[in-house]
Protein backbone atom coordinates (compact mmCIF):
# COMPACT_ATOMS: atom_id res chain seq x y z
CA UNK A 1 0.00 0.00 0.00
CA UNK A 2 1.48 3.37 -1.02
CA UNK A 3 1.01 6.66 0.73
CA UNK A 4 -0.34 9.43 -1.51
CA UNK A 5 1.85 12.50 -1.70
CA UNK A 6 0.20 15.49 -0.04
CA UNK A 7 0.94 18.94 -1.44
CA UNK A 8 0.39 22.18 0.39
CA UNK A 9 -1.28 25.15 -1.31
CA UNK A 10 2.09 26.84 -1.63
CA UNK A 11 3.44 23.78 -3.45
CA UNK A 12 0.33 23.41 -5.60
CA UNK A 13 0.18 27.04 -6.82
CA UNK A 14 3.68 27.09 -8.42
CA UNK A 15 2.86 23.81 -10.12
CA UNK A 16 -0.33 25.32 -11.59
CA UNK A 17 1.37 28.47 -12.85
CA UNK A 18 4.50 26.80 -14.18
CA UNK A 19 2.75 25.80 -17.41
CA UNK A 20 0.42 28.76 -18.01
CA UNK A 21 -0.20 32.19 -16.54
CA UNK A 22 -3.24 32.53 -14.28
CA UNK A 23 -4.98 35.33 -12.41
CA UNK A 24 -5.54 35.17 -8.64
CA UNK A 25 -9.26 34.48 -9.11
CA UNK A 26 -8.54 31.63 -11.54
CA UNK A 27 -6.07 30.09 -9.08
CA UNK A 28 -8.58 30.53 -6.23
CA UNK A 29 -11.28 28.73 -8.23
CA UNK A 30 -8.98 25.82 -9.10
CA UNK A 31 -7.72 25.17 -5.57
CA UNK A 32 -10.93 26.33 -3.85
CA UNK A 33 -9.64 29.01 -1.54
CA UNK A 34 -10.22 32.75 -1.33
CA UNK A 35 -8.49 35.22 -3.63
CA UNK A 36 -6.97 36.89 -0.55
CA UNK A 37 -5.35 33.56 0.43
CA UNK A 38 -3.92 33.19 -3.08
CA UNK A 39 -2.43 36.71 -2.94
CA UNK A 40 -0.75 35.94 0.41
CA UNK A 41 0.60 32.66 -0.96
CA UNK A 42 1.93 34.37 -4.11
CA UNK A 43 3.80 36.90 -1.93
CA UNK A 44 5.46 34.02 -0.09
CA UNK A 45 6.22 32.15 -3.34
CA UNK A 46 7.82 35.28 -4.82
CA UNK A 47 10.29 35.46 -1.91
CA UNK A 48 11.25 31.80 -2.15
CA UNK A 49 13.88 30.64 -4.64
CA UNK A 50 12.61 27.07 -4.23
CA UNK A 51 9.93 27.35 -6.91
CA UNK A 52 11.68 29.51 -9.51
CA UNK A 53 11.09 33.14 -10.45
CA UNK A 54 7.58 34.59 -10.23
CA UNK A 55 6.72 36.57 -13.36
CA UNK A 56 3.95 39.17 -13.18
CA UNK A 57 1.87 40.40 -16.11
CA UNK A 58 0.51 43.62 -14.58
CA UNK A 59 -3.14 44.54 -14.13
CA UNK A 60 -4.65 46.79 -16.78
CA UNK A 61 -7.66 49.10 -16.95
CA UNK A 62 -10.08 47.82 -19.56
CA UNK A 63 -11.59 51.28 -19.93
CA UNK A 64 -8.58 53.53 -20.63
CA UNK A 65 -5.75 50.99 -21.04
CA UNK A 66 -3.70 52.19 -18.06
CA UNK A 67 -1.15 49.56 -17.02
CA UNK A 68 -0.50 49.23 -13.29
CA UNK A 69 2.89 48.50 -11.70
CA UNK A 70 3.66 44.76 -11.65
CA UNK A 71 2.62 43.96 -8.06
CA UNK A 72 1.16 41.01 -6.22
CA UNK A 73 -2.23 42.59 -5.62
CA UNK A 74 -5.46 43.18 -7.49
CA UNK A 75 -6.22 46.90 -7.89
CA UNK A 76 -9.81 47.97 -7.35
CA UNK A 77 -9.96 51.23 -9.29
CA UNK A 78 -8.00 52.94 -12.09
CA UNK A 79 -6.10 56.03 -10.87
CA UNK A 80 -6.59 57.72 -14.27
CA UNK A 81 -10.24 57.23 -15.24
CA UNK A 82 -11.56 55.88 -11.89
CA UNK A 83 -13.07 52.86 -13.66
CA UNK A 84 -13.49 49.62 -11.71
CA UNK A 85 -13.25 47.59 -14.92
CA UNK A 86 -9.81 46.16 -14.16
CA UNK A 87 -8.18 43.16 -15.79
CA UNK A 88 -6.45 41.17 -13.04
CA UNK A 89 -2.69 40.66 -13.04
CA UNK A 90 -1.52 37.25 -14.21
CA UNK A 91 1.25 35.17 -12.67
CA UNK A 92 3.61 32.51 -14.01
CA UNK A 93 6.60 30.65 -12.59
CA UNK A 94 9.79 30.62 -14.61
CA UNK A 95 12.07 27.73 -13.66
CA UNK A 96 15.68 28.75 -13.08
Q: What is the pLDDT of residues 7-54, one digit of tens each?
A: 888 899 999 999 999 999 999 999 999 999 999 999 999 999 888 999
Query: What domains sit in the chain, N to C, each tagged with a CATH number?
Result: 9-94 (1.10.10)
- Does this model's pTM top 0.85? My answer is yes
Q: Is 1 exposed, middle or buried (0-12, 13-18, 19+ CB in 10 A)?
A: exposed
Q: Which residue, 10, 73, 85, is CA-closest to 44?
A: 10
Amino acid sequence: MSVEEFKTRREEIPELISETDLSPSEIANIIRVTEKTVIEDLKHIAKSKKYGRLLILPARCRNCGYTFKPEIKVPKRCPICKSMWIEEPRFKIEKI
